[in-house]
Structure 1
Amino acid sequence: MFGRGSFNQLGDILEPKRLNTKAPFIFYVDEVFKGNAWLTSRIPLSYNDKVIYVSSDQEPKTSQIDALVEEIILTQKEMPSGIIGIGGGCLLDIAKAVSIMLTNEGKSEDYQGWDLVKKPAIYHLGVPTISGTGAEVSRTTILTGPERKLGINSDYTPFDQVILDPELTANVPKDQWFYTGMDCYVHCIESLNGTYLNAFSKSYGEKAFELCKEIFLSDTLSKEESQDKLMMASWHGGMSIAYSQVGVAHAMSYGLGYLLGTKHGIGNCIVFDHLEEYYPDGVALFKQMKEKHDIQLPQGICANLSDDEFDIMIDVALSLEPLWENAIGKNWKKTITREKLKSLYQKM
């Protein structure tokens, strides 16, 4: 559902999904909205429904998901009617992961990978409050586990319903707006330049790419038009990788995220800034956008790392084989060596 003010219809959407009066809806809401009555007063609570505020300062961990699932199991007499995520990519991924783990046994780290989930998740709905990650539409939920940063990629991961209300993105800080918007832009570049490209991913990727250029390079859009278009660019960018994949920037930013805790959006920007060898036109346009919006990326975040720490990041990056195959081709291991990745990380 798309449109300004559409968040007000959340209650109407959820009402027919309620299993019974003892089966609550659980709302995971970004902690930044705690005390923000403009948003929280519109969350439709009934019976035993529960709002849980979650910090997005750090990206979701498998241990965090396991703890949230355990809390539900120990405190709720019945399976929830549904899980609702309200926030950015972190909160959306948390909602997707919890909904999966309520019906699948074991720990969430057991499901990091592709198509390991065997049972459908419970009903889950997403409400993005920032645009760019594509988490509202993707078939993955990215988690940092004890050994790696990797998504739960499955047909059961995507939301059953999504509310896209551009009004909810009105107060996003400028830097965060740029970093998250660039996540969408990088989705487009990596999808459109990948070996997995097909008619489905190309049609969505091209639309998202055109929207990104308009949003980040045009001087004619109003603030509201920019919000509307970026929300749709995020959706299209997420759809563009649904039948393809991302590439070099995402693989390497996972390494930064795992070792240094670098948030996904800014991590993609830090990496992409050095990938002229792989995406020359895309990087040139990225630098133009960065200059236009006066964005200063962090420098030297890898300057003082040990060889062992570089090895950890390289191990994480190399484990994402589908991303490398999409970016380079089936023979990617001939050119993507540990020495090559270390030299790239050393630039960051």
Structure 2
Amino acid sequence: MYKNFSLVPKVMFGRGSFAQLGDVLEERRTNSDGFVVFVLDDVFAGSELEKRLPVEDGDMVLYVNVDDEPKTEYTDLLVDKVKQHNTILPDGIVGIGGGSTLDIAKVVSLMLTNPGSSADYQGWDLIKNPAVYHVGIPTLAGTGAEISRTAILTGPEKKLGINSDYTLYDQVILDPELLKGVPKDQWFYTGMDCYIHDVESLKGTFINEFSKAYGEKSIDMCRQIFLEDHPDADDKLMMASYFGGMSIAYSQVGACHALSYGLSYVLGTHHGIGCCMAFDALDEIYPEGVLEFRKMMDRHQIVLPKKVAAPLSQEKLQLMVTTALNLTPLWENCLGPDWRHIMTREKCLELYLRM
């Protein structure tokens, strides 16, 4: 069976394009009693970026905290806040921030039209009703959250995304000016998420010409960004992120992302740095990619945490292993249909103990 996947229908790219958000939303403001919800990373509270939001009477600025990876319980509380703000559905949801904030905005837009808890929809194609119209505006680049049909969540029993065509944004605005001032470590870890997307897609068993076309262009831009000096590096990174997300849309990520889910679920490790920690332990699976990744780390003087799994109890170590190995499509893309004979629990535990 071939995938018949959806794409984000509208994309705006360019420096200063954020200024057109008001015009984009004007088309949706058809109800005199309507309102828009701006889902804003709370690091921007009181900032110049917040002052530039086209907020009108009745609108809601919903500050979200992403110090921790998004949890189902937290997103459910945010949905309740929106419902308390107004009893009607909003005209639109606007997510502004990094990958976690963009994923939270996706979940809010979905859960306003679907009953129950967000934990009920962790999996593939469980959402039944279309989301509220939603716009994604990244202020970090690399995760591909702006183009992805996934909203990654940690639930009471598992870390797993809400994967649905309804999750996709209706509109994305890619303004490279919004990347200015990102701390170097955060810039690097998020950018490496994109690089790792490309390696996992290009080296995976699910690879095809569709994914290869996007992945090869994305990884070429990553090399320009992280191994060379370019004045338009932020523009390149925004497009590398977009293309990297497109590359995995018709293939899949692999071992690194599976292992990073275990780190996040047990240790609360943020996705970008978790991917870097996992990738650094995968010499045997992605030898060329890991070697190049280490060159990028050296060039930007990045030092990863070490031995993070060593203090853990056997119970928690085994929970990390279980979390990682439950992601069957990722391992199959990485190692093929017989992956379980290759990536045993013992081998997976060995990889964690390397980190």
TM-score, length basis structure 1: 0.97
Secondary structure of the residue that 2:257 maps to in structure 1? helix
Distance 1:178 1:343 in 2: 26
Whole-angstrom CA distance in 2 between matches of 1:66 and 1:19? 27
Q: Deviations over 1:168-212 (max 9, x none)?
A: 000100010100000000000000011111121111101100000
Aligned-partner residue type, residue 178 of structure 2: L
1:5 pairs with 2:12: no
Contact 1:188/1:209 (8 A) holds in 2: yes
Give 1:293's aligned amino acid: H
Q: Which moved more, 1:43-52 or 1:129-138?
A: 43-52
Matched residue, 1:307: 314
The within-5 A match list for 1:296-335 is 296-335=303-342
- CA distance in 1 between counterparts of 2:53 and 2:88 reads 21
1:23 deviates by: 2.0
Contact 1:255–1:312 (CA under 8 A) maintained in structure 2: yes
5+ long unaligned stretches in structure 2: 1-11
- Deviation track 1:291-336 (CA, whole Å, cap 9, x = no partner) reads 1111000111111111100111111111111111111111111111
1:195 to 181, 205, 214: 205
SS of corresponding position for 2:187: helix
Deviation track 1:205-249 (CA, whole Å, cap 9, x = no partner) reads 011000000110013x12xx0111001000000111111110000
Q: Deviations over 1:116-157 (max 9, x none)?
A: 111111100000001101000011000000011110011111
CA distance in 2, matches of 1:68, 1:57: 16
Q: Which amino acid aligns with 1:188?
A: D
Percent identical among aligned pairs is: 59
Structural mapping, 1:53-132, within 5 Å? 53-132=63-142
Question: Is it true that 1:22 corresponds to 2:29 in the alignment?
Answer: no
CA distance in 2, matches of 1:267, 1:277: 18
Aligned runs of 1:1-348 on 2, under 5 Å?
A: 1-37=12-48, 39-219=49-229, 221-222=230-231, 225-348=232-355
Residue type of the alignment partner of 1:5:
G
RMSD, aligned α-carbons? 0.8
CA distance in 1, matches of 2:162, 2:155: 11
- Structure 1 segments, 4+ long, off by >6 Å, are none
Please tell me whether the aligned partners of residues 21 and 47 of structure 1 are also in contact (alpha carbons under 8 angstroms).
Answer: no
Tell me how far 1:42 sits from its aligned partner. Answer: 1.2
Distance in 2, matches of 1:19 and 1:198, equals 43
> Quick one: distance in 2 between partners of 1:249 and 1:22?
47
Q: Is the 8 A contact 1:22 1:77 kept in 2?
A: no
Equivalent residue of 2:70, what SS?
Answer: coil
Aligned partners of 1:65 and 1:54: how far apart in 2? Answer: 9
Q: Per-residue deviation at 1:48?
A: 0.7
Provide the rounded CA distance (Å) in 2 between the counterparts of 1:234 and 1:265. Answer: 13
What amino acid is aligned across from residue 298 of structure 1 in structure 2? Answer: P
3-state SS of paired residue (1:162): strand
Is the partner of 2:40 in helix, strand or coil?
strand
CA distance in 1, matches of 2:265, 2:216: 31
Structure 1 letter corresponding to 2:252: Q
Aligned length: 344
Contact 2:149 2:164 in 1 (8 A): yes
Q: Counterparts of 1:141 and 1:46 in 2: how far apart (Å)? A: 28
